[in-house]
Amino acid sequence: MNNEEGLKELRDKLDALDDKILDLINERMEVVHQVGVLKAHSGGAIYRPEREKEIIKRLEKRNNGLLNNAAIEALFLEIFAISRNLELPENIAFLGPEGSFTHQAAEMRFGAMSSYISIGSIKGVFREVSTKKAKFGVIPIENSSNGIVSDTINCLTNYNLKIIAEVILDIHHTLATTCDKVSDIKKIYSKDIAFEQCSKFLENFGLDEVEHIPIESTTKAAKLALAEPNAAAICSHVGAKMYSLPILFENIEDKDNNKTRFFIISDFENAQSGNDKTSILAKLPNTPGALVDFLSDFDKAGINLTKIKSHIVQGDSIFFIDFDGHKNDENVQTIFKKHEASIKFLGSYVKEADDI
């Protein structure tokens, strides 16, 4: 058999496999439809993050081929998204323009085929979900370099929506420009936080002395830099590609482990998955030892606290707290009942990471 005959045989084999894959996916969609009918009668939610995580973990354990875990997750998250949209197309509101890091986080969970609504503020995302114009909202909660996002804490305080999932996204910045060399750059557009995260790079290349122009999004920075001579943008790889803006340097962020954590919010609560995290807000009495007494109850109940951050909301000091476990766990219920007047439950969801 010559090379051409061998290649044809392999291509025929691939075609046959593709046919089988298509048939199996359609068969899966039929079963999904049956599940959807049953959920519609019982009032169950279409999106169940804990169930999707359970499926992916099972498939990763079963896998003995060339696919790595990241590929399995990406492939099946897209299949899940297609399944949901066949049953009940729903809007997902996200902060920022198309191509923003929040948009990327949304697509990681809801796939490319979902219907997305770009919103200019975190409060706007909460409002869209609260008024049911969107079923889900995606907003940032914290960055490993810059800490907690105050607007998100304020909205979690003021709205009665629930966190149903978290997404951890590696944040990488590029320097993109039509200039051929660094010395030609006279101004840089970006979001203020991106300038902070890339300060060492800017200093090393003498770009700390050119004009820095803060704007509302790194995606818009790419658009502006494309239109102006001697201009550059600090933006994501996706943002640069959206506007066909040449990338001069990749991964210019100061810290290798620069990550942002995002919340997905909606109007329902998750069932227990066995690997959950819970977030709460705690407003404690202004008395000596109140915080120590409150936290010691978690220790006595054997609950592992993973984050405690203080925050001021409308002049009041509150604490944003993450811990391992689900709202319906017996030891968590003990804490909630004892401190009912002090705790606002924000959500229990599948744990993606202990912390960032």
Architecture of domain 174-249: 3-Layer(aba) Sandwich (3.40)
Give the strand order in the sheet containing 305-313: 305-313, 316-324, 276-282, 343-350
The Cβ of residue 212 has, within 10 Å, a number of other Cβ atoms equal to 15
Residue in this structure with the two tokens 């039929």, named with its chain if needed: 30
Domain ranges of the chain: 19-87, 174-249, 272-356
CATH (residue range 272-356): 3.30.70.260
Architecture of domain 19-87: Up-down Bundle (1.20)
CB 230 within 8 A of CB 207: no
The CA distances from residue 142 to 82, 147, 261, in Å, are 29, 5, 5
DSSP 205: T
pTM given for the model: 0.85
* Residue 249, amino acid: F
CB 117 within 8 A of CB 128: yes
Please tell me the distance from the alpha carbon of residue 243 to that of residue 189, in angstroms, as a whole number: 14
pLDDT at 1: 65
| pLDDT digits (tens), the chain, 356 positions | 678 888 999 999 999 999 999 999 999 999 988 887 776 655 556 677 788 888 999 999 999 999 999 899 889 988 988 887 777 668 999 998 999 999 999 998 888 878 899 999 999 999 999 999 999 999 999 999 889 999 999 999 999 999 999 999 999 999 999 999 999 999 999 999 999 999 999 999 999 999 999 999 999 999 999 999 999 999 999 999 999 999 999 999 999 899 999 999 999 999 898 899 999 999 988 888 889 999 999 999 999 999 999 988 777 789 999 999 999 999 999 999 999 999 999 999 999 887 88
The Cβ of residue 68 has, within 10 Å, a number of other Cβ atoms equal to 11
